[in-house]
Structure 1
Amino acid sequence: MKFSANLGFLWTDLTLPDAIRAAGAAGFDAVECHWPYDVPPADVRAALEETGLEMLGLNARRGNVAAGDNGLTAIPGREDEARAAIDEALAYARAIGTLSVHVMSGFSGGPRAQASYCENLAHACDAAAAEGITILIEPINHYDAPGYFLSTSAQAAAIIREVGRPNLKMMFDCYHVQIMEGDVCRRLEALLPLVGHIQIAAVPDRGPPDRGELDYGHVLDRIGQLGWTRPIGAEYRPQGPTGDSLGWMARYRG
């Protein structure tokens, strides 16, 4: 099993280039990040080339976070802002050789939000297709993000089918799915053709994935049996120095 370090949560005390280097030194097979836009793409690309790691994905900007935004894509009336954020993310992804961009829905609901979401996702997919970039959408649980538009794997699957673009996929975060729905392995079995990336963290505290109510030994074995060979994203809060939280990786690698 291969693993990707999510640098939105791991090594947050370091600059992004140095966090990439730390992940390489710790034995990760790849990295991913949240919002890298304050760092020149050339610096990120240099660290990736130095370590031989791939940046699996990054997020489009969420909007005005201080005002409560957590994504723009399903917010009616803010289509221009949403598409500008998407285009910026795609440009950054191209500059560093990243092949996935996560586009967040935001806090909204109802038919107008659904229509805006699907239209903006179609724009994102069409803009990304020429570069071979996949657009990711992620269901996020309603305890961590009350009112977030996209909250279940079934809803994400329906959106993917409605938009009808082959480069639109689901980010299947086992942490969020377990909290909202449970039955993680059967949901993965059913949805794997629609999944573009898988992430893990302990439930319910989002700590390292070697504790809590999900047995990741079993979950990861099942993912391997299903034929998944790409790195699994470690998107957890280490609750101390990141290096002290990595004992799980040797255990699960086999």
Structure 2
Amino acid sequence: MPSFSANLGFLWTELSLPEAVRAAARAGFDAVEMHWPYDEDATAIRAALADTGLPLMGINTRRGPEGAFGLAAVPGQGAAARDHIDEAIAGARALGSAAVHVMAGLGEGAAARVAFEEHLAYACAQAGADGPTILIEPLNRQDVPGYFLGDFDLAGEIIAALDLPNLKLMFDSYHAGRMGLDIRRTFAICQPMVGHVQIAGVPDRGPPDISTPDQRPFLHDLDALGWDRPVGAEYRPPGRTEDSLGWMAGLRHP
């Protein structure tokens, strides 16, 4: 039976992160994940995680300047990219986060790939064997035009080329679906390198039970493969988060 992590970058956004953690616990989530917790009180977040017993699955590096989606694959931004990585790893250690998603940013070509690989190697070295897993996530270019890591094949090539034990793939079924990929087949190919899974409805990024194709078979695949980590619910609720949670009971029994 799948378990679920509330992505607090999209859910309960009207609340502070500590309050959102407690709301997720009341709603029956098994874990939480956050986008950018850096400007909130880390002590209060830690207290909410401790009080609820919810594990923190992951946080992101900062997006960077207005309109950016990270800096790790942007040539000429090395110092800022490393600062963001250092900040995220320190934040993950302080909050007990299992992973850090290193955001690539906008770019293309050989120079962008060199920059991305250099910064991922740096992130993995800084995290070390006892630190958070480093994640990369392909984002569809309909939503994020110009994003460097815009397909799963490139992500797989980079992970294979670097061959680092703490570098993994974040597999988001929404982005795979928006790329026009067969979600189940793509995951089966990627599965050995996957470190975290997220879901949302395709094509509108709404609740995950309102999706074309139906994602219940995908969750059944995860269950059959013995996936034992919470699946991230990273969707945009159409109204109050509490009113959008009917999907969870149904998808716990795909």
State TM-score, norm by structure 2. 0.97
Q: What CA distance in whole angstroms lies between the structure 1 residues aligned with 2:72 and 2:79?
A: 10
Q: CA deviation at 1:245?
A: 0.4
**Is there any run of 5+ residues in structure 1 with no aligned partner, and where?**
none
Q: Secondary structure at the match of 2:111?
A: helix
Q: What CA distance in whole angstroms lies between the structure 2 residues aligned with 1:44 and 1:123?
A: 27
Instruction: Indicate conservation of the 8 Å contact 2:100/2:133, yes or no.
Output: yes
Tell me: CA distance 1:164–1:61, structure 2 relative to 1, closer, same or farther (3 Å): same
Q: What CA distance in whole angstroms lies between the structure 1 residues aligned with 2:185 and 2:68?
A: 33
Instruction: Indicate conservation of the 8 Å contact 2:70/2:106, yes or no.
Output: yes
Q: Secondary structure at the match of 1:198?
A: strand
**Structure 2 residue 249 is the aligned partner of structure 1 residue 250:** yes
Q: What CA distance in whole angstroms lies between the structure 1 residues aligned with 2:183 and 2:210?
A: 16
**Which residue of structure 1 lines up, in the alignment, with residue 115 of structure 2?**
116
**Structure 2 residue 200 is the aligned partner of structure 1 residue 201:** yes
Q: CA deviation at 1:86?
A: 0.3
Q: CA deviation at 1:191?
A: 1.1
What is the number of residues matched between the two proteins? 252
Q: Secondary structure at the match of 1:145?
A: coil
Moved more, 179-188 or 115-124: 179-188
Q: What CA distance in whole angstroms lies between the structure 1 residues aligned with 2:226 and 2:153?
A: 22
**Which residue of structure 2 lines up, in the alignment, with residue 19 of structure 1?**
20
Equivalent positions of 1:207-246 (< 5 A) are: 207-246=206-245
Q: What CA distance in whole angstroms lies between the structure 2 residues aligned with 1:212 and 1:233?
A: 16
Equivalent positions of 1:26-105 (< 5 A) are: 26-64=27-65, 66=66, 68-105=67-104
Q: What CA distance in whole angstroms lies between the structure 1 residues aligned with 2:178 and 2:240?
A: 26
**Is there any run of 5+ residues in structure 2 with no aligned partner, and where?**
none
Q: What CA distance in whole angstroms lies between the structure 2 residues aligned with 1:109 and 1:190?
A: 24
CA deviation digits over 1:34-88, x for unaligned, max 9?
0011112111100000000011000011111x2x211100001101100000000
Instruction: Indicate conservation of the 8 Å contact 2:129/2:166, yes or no.
Output: no
Q: CA deviation at 1:90?
A: 0.5
CA deviation digits over 1:88-119, x for unaligned, max 9?
00001101111200011000000010000000
Letter in 1 for 2:219: L
Q: What CA distance in whole angstroms lies between the structure 1 residues aligned with 2:78 and 2:195?
A: 24
Q: What CA distance in whole angstroms lies between the structure 2 residues aligned with 1:162 and 1:181?
A: 26
Q: CA deviation at 1:190?
A: 1.5
Q: What CA distance in whole angstroms lies between the structure 2 residues aligned with 1:215 and 1:203?
A: 9
Instruction: Indicate conservation of the 8 Å contact 2:17/2:45, yes or no.
Output: yes
Instruction: Indicate conservation of the 8 Å contact 1:4/1:31, yes or no.
Output: yes
State TM-score, norm by structure 1. 0.97
Q: CA deviation at 1:25?
A: 0.3
Q: CA deviation at 1:131?
A: 2.9
Instruction: Indicate conservation of the 8 Å contact 2:117/2:158, yes or no.
Output: yes
Q: Secondary structure at the match of 1:115?
A: helix
Query: Once the two structures are aligned, what percentage of the paired residues are identical?
Result: 55
Q: Secondary structure at the match of 1:85?
A: helix
Letter in 2 for 1:149: F
Letter in 1 for 2:46: R
Q: Secondary structure at the match of 1:197?
A: strand
Q: CA RMSD in A?
A: 0.9
